[in-house]
Amino acid sequence: MNLYGRDLITTQEWSRNELETTLDLAARMKRDRFADNFTNILQNKTFFMFFYNPSVRTRQSFECAATELGGHAQFLEPKSMRLKTATSAGETVEDAAKVMSRYAAGLGIRILEDQVSAYGEGDNLLREYAHWSDIPIVSMAHDKYHPCQGLADVMGWSEWYGRGPGKGVDPVVLQGKKLLVAWGHGALARSWCSVQEAMLIGSRLGMDVTLAYPEGYDLDPAVVEWTKQNCAENNREFGITHDPREGYHGAHVVYSRHWMSPQAYQNGEFLKKQEIEKALHYPDWICDGEKMKLSDNGIFTHPMPIDRGHEVTDEVASGSRSCIYDVAENRLHVQKAIMALTMAGR
């Protein structure tokens, strides 16, 4: 298998074998983090990080990943570059992508809900860069997908249901497990990227998937259909409920996170204030200890940052069945594996 030069915009576009190969390498890199055979894979190579939105874990984990592979990660912001936009003159994506390809080994792009005027614009931007670039384009989270988070998620869940964190990954342990993706009320208006990626990669690896959300908070119909197809191909179940408790019954992995409604964009504007005000009307949609008791001794997962007290209680987020910090750590390891496989050339 040769992943050199491959873009990673969503895990759905990689084969299951490619995903499992990436997870296996990430597990080995986690176990032998500073081993000599890993520390010069990207020697003298640069990874560009293009941030339309700020981050905590994403910048930290990618910079650490590049350093630990012997390379360098360079932070870039659109506001400091003369790029063409819908309202201003500047350099086109074609020109920027072709020049960046002469400099770097890869380009990561992060563009979320408040930096686009309509759902899907971020995804379109990544695909335009991928069209013109000669180097791999990696989504560092955009309005549709978050593949690095999805890989970190399933790596963490596999560790918990397998041999334990840091002891290797066997995704087979997830087959037949129930993933509950539950909407959480909150004071943040969040994009669909993380939850949609979790649905896709969980269903690819043979999990049952249940979506739980109040009416009016539907996700991307195309992603929902993809998830249904993935479940069908693995002879697994997919379901949707609008009850805040029902989906917890028998769940093995509980993913409670807020996401915006399909009405978040109006006339090219992201209505963040209205989204927050609307979401706070659903206090029953919080993951708490009583709901977790309905699960099959399930683990709580979240991509972070967590809106504690809205999406989930402290009792659950900081409890003994929470894998949030393991998943956060795994961002580093899966990103090292992605960079090694797509950018090293050997």
pLDDT at 58 over 70: yes
pLDDT of 41 reads: 97
Q: Assess contact for 35 and 68: CB atoms under 8 A.
A: no
pLDDT, tens digit, 9 for 90 and up, residues 105-144: 999 999 999 999 999 999 999 999 999 999 999 999 999 9
pLDDT at 85 over 70: no
Portion of the chain with pLDDT greater than 70, in percent: 98
Q: Kindly indicate the confidence band of residue 79, based on its pLDDT and cuts at 50, 70 and 90.
A: confident
Q: Which residue did the predictor score with more confidence, 91 or 30?
A: 30
pLDDT of 86 reads: 63
pLDDT of 345 reads: 78
Mean pLDDT, the chain, integer: 96
In DSSP terms, 50 is beta-bridged to: 76, 109
pLDDT of 346 reads: 60
pLDDT of 1 reads: 78
User: Cα 33 to chain center, whole Å?
Assistant: 22
Lowest-pLDDT range, 184-188, 230-234, 310-314, 329-333? 184-188
Tell whether the torsion through CA atoms of 320, 197, 282 and 117 is positive or negative: positive
Rounded CA-CA distance 174/159 in Å is 10
Q: Which domains occur in the chain, in start order?
A: 11-145+329-343 (3.40.50.1370), 149-327 (3.40.50.1370)
pLDDT of 186 reads: 87
Q: Kindly indicate the confidence band of residue 298, based on its pLDDT and cuts at 50, 70 and 90.
A: very high
Mean pLDDT confidence for 252-269: 97
pLDDT at 16 over 70: yes
pLDDT of 84 reads: 64
pLDDT at 88 over 80: no
Backbone φ and ψ for 187, nearest 5 degrees, come out as -95, 25
CA distances to 20, 125, 178 from 206, rounded to whole Å, are: 13, 31, 9
Token reading at 218: 């539907």
pLDDT of 83 reads: 77
Rounded CA-CA distance 12/76 in Å is 27
Q: Where are the alpha helices (DSSP H) in the chain?
A: 16-31, 57-68, 93-103, 121-132, 147-161, 193-204, 221-233, 272-279, 289-292, 314-317, 324-343
> pTM for this one?
0.97
pLDDT of 87 reads: 59
Query: What letters, b where the CB count within 10 A reaches 16 and e where it falls short, cover 123-146?
Result: bebbeebbebbebbbbbbbbbbbb
Rounded CA-CA distance 294/316 in Å is 13
